[in-house]
Amino acid sequence: MITVSGLTKQYGGRTVVDDVSFTLEPGTVTGFLGPNGAGKTTTMRMMTGLVPATSGSATVDGRRYADLPNPGAVMGTLLDAAAVHPGRTGRAHLRLLASAIGVPATRVEEVLSLVGLADAAGRRIGGYSLGMRQRLGIAGALLADPPVLMFDEPANGLDPEGIRWMRDLLRGHAARGGTVLLSSHLLGEVEHTVHRLLVIGQGRIVADGPVSTLLGGDGVAVRAVDPRALAAALEAAGFHVQHGDDDVLTVTGAQPADVGAVAAAGGHVLLDLRPVQRGLEDLFFQLTAAS
Ligand SMILES: Nc1ncnc2c1ncn2[C@@H]1O[C@H](COP(=O)(O)OP(=O)(O)OP(=O)(O)O)[C@@H](O)[C@H]1O
> Could you list the pLDDT tens digit for every one of the 291 residues in the chain?
899 999 999 999 999 999 999 999 999 999 999 888 999 999 999 999 999 999 999 999 899 998 998 888 999 999 976 678 889 999 999 999 999 989 999 999 999 999 999 999 999 999 999 899 999 999 999 999 999 999 999 988 888 889 999 999 999 999 999 999 999 988 778 888 999 999 998 899 988 998 877 877 778 999 999 999 999 999 999 999 999 888 899 998 899 999 999 999 999 999 999 988 776 667 766 776 655
Report the top-level CATH class of 2-202. Answer: alpha beta
Residue-wise pLDDT tens digits, 140-159: 999 999 999 999 999 888 88
For strands 28-33 and 179-184, give the pairing.
Answer: parallel
pLDDT at 290: 57
Query: Does 38 contact ligand 1 (Cβ within 6 A)?
Result: yes
Report the pLDDT value the prediction gives residue 30, as an integer from 0 to 100: 97
Domain 218-277 matching CATH 3.30.70.100: the answer reads: yes
The dihedral built from the CA positions of residue 275, 33, 78 and 117, taken in this order, carries a sign that is: positive
| CA–CA distance, 25 with 160 (Å, rounded to integer) | 28
Residue of 8, 9, 11 to mutate, ligand 1, most atoms within 8 A of C-beta? 11
Residues of the chain with CATH 3.40.50.300: 2-202
The alpha carbon of 157 and the centre of ligand 1 are apart by a number of angstroms equal to 20
Whole-angstrom Cα distance, residue 96 to residue 250?
59
The reply to whether ligand 1 has any atom less than 6 angstroms from the CB of 41 is yes
Q: Is the CB of 11 under 6 A from ligand 1?
A: yes
Distance 62 CA to ligand 1 centre (A): 27
Look at residue 245 in the predicted model and tell me its pLDDT: 81
Asked if residue 198 has its Cβ within 6 Å of ligand 1, the reply is no
Minimal CA–CA distance to 279: which of 216, 208, 222, 218? 216
* Region(s) of the chain under CATH 3.30.70.100: 218-277
User: CA–CA separation, 107 vs 28, rounded Å?
Assistant: 25
36 Cα–ligand 1 center, Å: 8
Beta-strand runs (E) in 74-195: 75-78, 148-151, 179-184
Phi, psi of 208 (to 5 degrees): -155, 115
Q: Determine the distance separating the centroid of ligand 1 and the alpha carbon of 156, expressed in angstroms.
A: 17
